[in-house]
């Protein structure tokens, strides 16, 4: 699933689990990327499937 950050970081312990008060609002796109379709270099840079990461220069590869 691909998302775009819509607001900068904010702190609010009343949202979600109070142990995790740091938030960044993200607009999730109707785009999914099959991990198997990515090159090994891209997979290595993404890390775990549970990792939240910034696409950065990989955006070009994901858009093609």
Q: Report yes or no: 23 and 7 within 8 Å, Cβ to Cβ.
A: no
> What integer pLDDT is reported at residue 59 of this predicted model?
55
> What integer pLDDT is reported at residue 50 of this predicted model?
53
DSSP 30: S
Question: Bridge partners of 22?
Answer: 11
Q: Measured between alpha carbons, how far is 34 from 41 in angstroms, rounded to an integer?
A: 15
List the one residue out of 14, 32, 31 whose CA is nearest residue 23: 14
pTM recorded for the entire structure: 0.46
Which pLDDT tens digits describe the chain residue by residue (64 residues)?
677 888 888 999 898 888 889 988 888 888 777 778 888 887 787 776 555 556 565 555 555 5
> What integer pLDDT is reported at residue 49 of this predicted model?
58
């Amino acid at each position: 699933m691909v998302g775009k950050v819509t607001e900068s970081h904010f702190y609010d312990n009343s949202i979600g689990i109070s142990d995790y008060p740091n938030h960044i609002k993200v607009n999730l796109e109707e785009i999914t990327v099959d991990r198997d379709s990515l090159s090994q270099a891209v997979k290595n840079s993404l890390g775990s499937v549970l990792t939240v990461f910034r696409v950065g220069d990989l955006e070009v590869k994901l858009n093609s």
